[in-house]
Amino acid sequence: MKTETILSRLFISSTRRKLIQILFYTPNDLFYVRQLVRSTGEEINSVRRELKNLKEVGLIKSEARANRLYYWANQKSPVFPQLLVLANKTLGLGLLLSSSRHTQAKVRFLLYSYNFATNAPRRADEIDLIIVGQVSPQKVEKYIKQEEKTRACEINYMIMTKKELILRKAKRDPFLVDFFLNSPLVIIGSPKYISSV
């Protein structure tokens, strides 16, 4: 079953689901109500009600600034990492690589650095994401360009086969070591298989 389908069944309210996707996809961004209404395509009263619900359970925070009330993801919430992964599975690059006919069976793993997923400041030489599988670099580059526009930043990425990943891990590739030491998030694939590679 697709992640989007699971998400729609898990969260009965489509407004709540869309708000979680938007707020946790770019967790450092601030959104005001009208922005969220436009982004979700939902009614304003529904958006306000769900924002209130999400705030009451501590998933989001808000603050009034210049006659507007802004909302953003609460990164101190105990379920923040899980919602961050969920949002990145169902939007942007995660969605494109998991649902594309050309890459679906070929992408074994998509790993994001935690700094990339949270839009935190990153070093110029830091790897943002790793794609493992038999994929077309040209196809992936097209998707990366889309993601760069969405996130308004350049993305440093690596594409490799599973065999190459195993070889690089065995040789203690410094880029990989650094990447794995910074607790990457598994967007496509299973964490238990990553550790066994």
So what's the architecture of 3-73 in CATH? Orthogonal Bundle (1.10)
Judged against a pLDDT cut of 60, whether residue 6 lies above it is answered with no
Q: Report the alpha-carbon distance of residue 68 to residue 78 in Å, rounded.
A: 27
Confirm if 131 and 107 have CB atoms less than 8 A apart: yes
pLDDT at residue 3, as a whole number: 60
pLDDT at residue 40, as a whole number: 95
Q: For the chain, give every domain's residue range.
A: 3-73, 91-196
Cβ burial of 30 (10 Å; 0-12, 13-18, 19+) is: middle
Average pLDDT over residues 62-75: 94
pLDDT 10s digits, 95-137: 988 875 544 458 889 999 999 999 888 888 899 999 999 888 8
Angstrom CA distances, 133 to 16, 42, 152, 165, 189, stand at 33, 37, 26, 10, 11
pLDDT at residue 104, as a whole number: 47
Nearest to 111 by CA among 23, 27, 175: 175
Average pLDDT of the chain to the nearest whole number: 88
β-sheet bridge partners, residue 73: 60
Q: What percent of the chain has pLDDT over 90?
A: 63
SS3 assignment, position 1: coil
pLDDT 10s digits, 132-191: 998 888 889 999 999 999 888 999 999 999 899 999 989 999 989 999 888 899 999 887
Q: Report the alpha-carbon distance of residue 56 to residue 41 in Å, rounded.
A: 23
Task: Count other Cβ atoms within 10 Å, centred on residue 158.
Answer: 18
Nearest to 179 by CA among 164, 190, 188, 168: 168
Average pLDDT over residues 29-49: 96
Q: What percent of the chain has pLDDT over 70?
A: 90
Judged against a pLDDT cut of 70, whether residue 48 lies above it is answered with yes
Judged against a pLDDT cut of 90, whether residue 193 lies above it is answered with no
Average pLDDT over residues 66-83: 94
Entry pTM: 0.85
Q: Would you give the DSSP letter of residue 100?
A: -
Judged against a pLDDT cut of 80, whether residue 12 lies above it is answered with no
Average pLDDT over residues 75-85: 94
